[in-house]
């Protein structure tokens, strides 16, 4: 279970990075809607294997990430199948739906970073955030023929390929190596980005390591 908690923390950290920071990395314009399908693979030597897939769709200020992931470690397998909904126009609330239950169940949590920076210039904040986390552009690369800026965030053991404000590939090395890479890009949104009408339980406990993150990020706001 400790491993799975570590994996969850790494995933959330990278998600925060790829949600806020990439908006200034590339000079191109992000399409108003679209979908990216990606594969997820990872390992920690022969002890742990990770396989999965992700569909990330957005329209306007709304987005959804549908992810299926299977982690096998020391003979124990855990499968997750979730849909994460975010509406950046309504603040820092994130809705997560567990698609593996029948009927689906949901939780909602406050994202301290998005909420605290909602009224700020996220382009400037994103750039300072990348730099504050030790991020720097280390070159160019292509994913599915799209030319990307490759950012390295050494403090998080992460490299990310950004095209037109969109993350197309991420490689994270924090005790394990996890690669998420786009396999298909569309400038049409073919998934609903509106959260389903189900009951959402409010997650009252903050994730360890995330307390006060919104306040910390305030120091990177433009003066």
Other CB atoms closer than 10 Å to residue 42's CB: what's the count? 21
Question: What confidence score (pLDDT) does residue 94 get?
Answer: 87
Q: How far apart are CA 38 and CA 94, in angstroms?
A: 21
15 lies in some domain: yes
Question: What confidence score (pLDDT) does residue 208 get?
Answer: 42
220 lies in some domain: no
Question: What confidence score (pLDDT) does residue 134 get?
Answer: 78
Question: What confidence score (pLDDT) does residue 114 get?
Answer: 61
136 lies in some domain: yes
86 lies in some domain: yes
Question: What confidence score (pLDDT) does residue 3 get?
Answer: 42
Question: What confidence score (pLDDT) does residue 205 get?
Answer: 46
Report which of 8, 4, 9 is spatially closest to residue 209, judged by C-alpha positions: 9
Question: What confidence score (pLDDT) does residue 170 get?
Answer: 93
Residuewise pLDDT in 10s, the chain (223 residues) = 444 444 444 444 455 455 444 433 333 566 788 999 999 999 988 889 999 999 999 898 888 999 999 999 888 999 999 999 988 777 668 899 999 988 999 999 876 666 555 555 555 555 666 677 778 889 999 999 999 989 898 877 889 998 877 889 999 987 789 999 999 999 899 889 889 998 888 875 444 444 444 454 444 444 4
pTM over 0.95: no
The CATH number for 34's domain is 2.50.20
14 lies in some domain: yes
8 lies in some domain: yes
Question: What confidence score (pLDDT) does residue 21 get?
Answer: 41
216 lies in some domain: no
Question: What confidence score (pLDDT) does residue 115 get?
Answer: 58
What percent of the chain has pLDDT above 90?
Answer: 35
Q: Which pair of tokens denotes residue 202? A: 């409010």
181 lies in some domain: yes
Question: What confidence score (pLDDT) does residue 10 get?
Answer: 45
Q: What phi and psi values does residue 176 have, to the nearest 5 degrees?
A: -135, 160
Number of domains in the chain: 1
Determine the structural domain holding residue 34 and report its residue range.
Answer: 2-205
Scored b (16 or more CB within 10 A) or e, 174-211 reads eebbbbbbbeebeeebebebebeeeebeeeeeeeeebe
């Amino acid at each position: 279970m400790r491993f799975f908690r570590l994996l969850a923390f790494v995933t959330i950290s990278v998600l925060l990075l790829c949600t806020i920071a990439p908006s200034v990395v590339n000079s191109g314009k992000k399409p108003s809607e679209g979908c990216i399908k990606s594969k997820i693979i990872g390992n920690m030597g022969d002890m742990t294997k990770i396989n999965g897939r992700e569909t990330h769709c957005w329209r306007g200020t709304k987005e959804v990430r549908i992810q299926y992931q299977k982690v096998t470690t020391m003979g124990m397998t855990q499968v997750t199948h979730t849909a994460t909904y975010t509406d950046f126009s309504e603040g820092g609330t994130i809705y997560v739906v567990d698609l593996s239950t029948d009927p689906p169940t949901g939780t909602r949590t406050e994202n301290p970073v998005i909420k605290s920076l909602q009224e700020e210039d996220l382009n400037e904040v994103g750039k300072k955030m990348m730099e504050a986390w030790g991020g720097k552009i280390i070159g160019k690369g292509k994913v599915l023929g799209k030319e990307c800026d490759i950012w390295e965030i050494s403090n998080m053991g992460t490299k990310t390929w950004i095209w037109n404000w969109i993350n197309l590939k991420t490689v994270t090395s924090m005790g394990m190596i996890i690669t998420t890479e786009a396999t298909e890009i569309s400038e049409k949104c073919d998934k609903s980005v509106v959260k389903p009408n189900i009951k959402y339980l409010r997650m009252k406990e903050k994730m360890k390591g995330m307390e006060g993150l919104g306040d910390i990020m305030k120091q990177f706001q433009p003066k």
